C-alpha cells in the first residue's frame, strides 16, 4: 500500500476529511491526496518519495520556487533571533515600506496572518469608514471563509457544490449582494437599487478561484466609475494576484489599460509572506485612520507581523524585483500553457488557456469562460482524467478545475518541456 494511502487513513481518524483545507482532500477529482515530504526548486516529493513537478506552489506563494537559498538564510537567521514577540519589530516597518513602494494605491498597510483575516478586516474597515453595511461580491470569487463572504463563494465550496456554507446565519449574509462576474448590466442595476447603502465592492481582478478568469476592461472601468459615483470603496482582493501577475499586482495591469485607475483598498497575501502565514490590507491614510488604535474599527492579531514570516516575505519581495524577473516568469508560464494547448489540439481535444505573469489557467472548453456558470459548464470529467494522468506521470496540477495554477522562477524551460511531453500521452488517452 502507498504510504500516501496509509497517512490519509490515519489523518481521517483525527482531522475532518483527513485535511486541514478542503480542496486538498481530492474530493473533486477522486483518489488519495499526496502527502508532501519535502520540496526543492520546482519539485516536491510525496510520502512514497515520488517526485512531482509542482504547479500549485502552495497556491501561489512560492514564486521563487521551494527552498530558495537566500530566503532560507533570512528565515533561519530570524528564527534564531526569536519565533514571536507580541511586540513590534523593525522588520514589520521594512516590509510595509516595501509593499507601499511597489503598490502606489496604498498609503498605509496593516499586516495579518491570513488572507481570510485580511479580507474580513478590510470589509469591516470599509463599513466603518463609509457608515454603510451592504457589499457586493461576485459569484465564483473567493475572499476567505468569513461569514459575510460565504455566499455562493467559489474555490473549495464550488468543489463540493455548496452554494452557501452551513453555520452562516441569514442575518449575517443579508447585506452581501452576489453578482455575476463580468456582467456590467447586473452591476449597474445593483448600484441603482442599493448605491446609497453600499460600503464596498470586493473583487478578484483576475479570479483564481474559478480557475483563471480575468475581469474585462469595460467591466472594471464601469465598476470604478460606479464606486466613485456612489461613494463606495473599490476593494481589490489581490491575495493571489498580488506580486504574482506583475510586480505591482493586477491593479498595475489595469492602471496601464484604464487611465487614472486605482482601487481604494487592497487585500494581499501569498507572495508577500513567501510561503509563511502572512497577509495584509491597505488603503489611503484617510481610510486607515479609522483603524484601531487610531480609530473606532477594531482589528488585532497576536501573530500579526510575525518576525519569521516578515523575514521570509521581505527576502522574497527583494528578490522578485531583480531586472527581468517578471518577463522571464511570464515567458515560462506562456511556454507551459501554449505547449499544453498545442498538445490538446493535436489530440483533437477542446482546450483553452490564459495566463498573466506566473499565474495560469486552462479549461476543457472551446473558449475562455467569463463567469462562474460558464466555468461550471466546462468538461469536468475530462479535467479529472487529465489531472490523474498528469499526476501519475509526476506533474501536480490543482486537484479541482476551479483553481488557478502557478509557475515559479525555478521552473526552467527543460522542466516545462518535460511536463508538455508528458501531457502528449495523457491528452491522447482522453478522447
Q: To 10 degrees, the CA torsion angle through 60, 402, 34, 66?
A: -10
CA 309, 314, 315, 317 torsion-angle sign:
positive
Residue 407 CB-density burial (10 A; 0-12 exposed, 13-18 middle, 19+ buried): buried
Strands 134-138, 198-203: pairing kind: parallel
Written as nine digits, the cell of 125 is 474597515
Cis check: omega of the bond before 222, within 30 degrees of 0: no
Name the residues annotated as catalytic.
142, 237, 270
- Return phi, psi of residue 282, to 5°: -150, 165
Cell numbers 500516501 correspond to what residue?
4
Written as nine digits, the cell of 91 is 522588520
Residue 362 CB-density burial (10 A; 0-12 exposed, 13-18 middle, 19+ buried): buried
Amino acid at each position: 500500500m502507498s504510504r500516501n494511502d496509509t497517512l490519509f487513513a490515519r489523518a481521517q481518524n483525527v482531522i475532518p476529511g483527513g485535511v486541514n483545507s478542503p480542496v486538498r482532500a481530492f474530493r473533486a477529482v477522486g483518489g488519495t491526496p499526496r502527502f508532501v515530504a519535502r520540496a526543492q526548486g520546482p519539485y516536491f516529493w510525496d510520502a512514497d518519495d515520488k517526485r512531482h513537478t509542482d504547479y500549485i506552489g502552495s497556491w501561489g506563494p512560492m514564486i521563487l520556487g521551494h527552498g530558495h537559498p537566500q530566503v532560507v538564510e533570512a528565515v533561519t537567521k530570524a528564527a534564531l533571533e526569536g519565533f514571536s514577540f507580541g511586540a513590534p519589530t523593525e522588520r514589520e516597518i521594512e516590509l510595509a515600506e516595501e509593499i507601499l513602494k511597489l503598490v502606489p494605491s496604498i498609503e498605509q498597510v496593516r499586516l495579518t496572518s491570513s488572507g481570510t483575516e485580511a479580507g474580513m478586516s478590510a470589509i469591516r474597515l470599509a463599513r466603518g469608514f463609509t457608515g454603510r453595511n451592504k457589499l457586493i461580491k461576485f459569484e465564483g470569487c473567493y475572499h476567505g471563509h468569513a461569514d459575510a463572504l460565504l455566499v455562493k463563494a467559489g474555490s473549495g465550496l464550488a468543489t463540493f457544490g455548496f452554494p452557501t456554507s452551513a453555520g452562516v446565519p441569514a442575518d449575517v449574509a443579508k447585506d452581501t449582494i452576489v453578482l455575476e462576474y463580468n456582467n456590467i448590466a447586473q452591476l449597474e442595476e445593483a448600484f441603482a437599487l442599493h448605491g446609497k447603502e453600499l460600503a464596498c465592492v470586493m473583487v478578484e481582478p483576475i479570479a483564481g478561484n474559478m480557475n483563471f478568469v480575468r475581469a474585462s476592461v469595460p467591466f472594471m472601468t464601469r465598476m470604478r466609475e460606479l464606486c466613485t459615483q456612489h461613494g463606495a470603496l473599490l476593494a481589490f482582493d489581490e491575495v493571489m494576484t498580488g506580486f504574482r501577475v506583475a510586480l505591482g499586482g493586477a491593479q498595475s495591469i489595469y492602471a496601464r489599460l484604464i487611465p487614472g485607475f486605482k482601487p481604494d483598498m487592497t487585500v494581499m497575501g501569498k507572495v508577500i509572506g513567501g510561503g509563511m502565514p502572512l497577509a495584509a490590507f491597505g488603503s489611503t491614510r484617510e481610510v486607515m485612520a479609522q483603524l484601531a488604535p487610531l480609530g473606532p474599527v477594531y482589528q488585532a492579531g497576536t501573530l500579526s507581523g510575525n518576525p519569521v514570516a516578515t523575514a521570509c516575505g521581505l527576502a522574497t519581495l527583494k528578490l522578485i524585483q531583480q531586472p527581468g524577473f517578471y518577463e522571464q516568469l511570464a515567458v515560462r508560464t506562456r511556454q507551459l500553457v501554449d505547449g499544453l494547448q498545442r498538445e490538446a489540439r493535436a489530440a483533437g481535444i477542446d482546450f483553452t488557456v490564459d495566463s498573466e505573469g506566473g499565474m495560469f489557467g486552462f479549461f476543457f472548453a472551446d473558449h475562455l469562460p467569463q463567469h462562474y456558470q460558464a466555468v461550471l459548464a466546462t468538461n469536468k470529467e475530462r479535467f479529472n482524467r487529465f489531472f490523474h494522468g498528469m499526476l501519475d506521470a509526476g506533474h501536480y496540477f490543482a486537484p479541482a478545475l476551479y483553481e488557478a495554477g502557478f509557475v515559479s522562477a525555478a521552473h526552467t524551460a527543460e522542466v516545462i518541456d518535460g511536463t508538455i511531453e508528458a501531457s502528449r500521452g495523457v491528452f491522447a488517452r482522453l478522447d
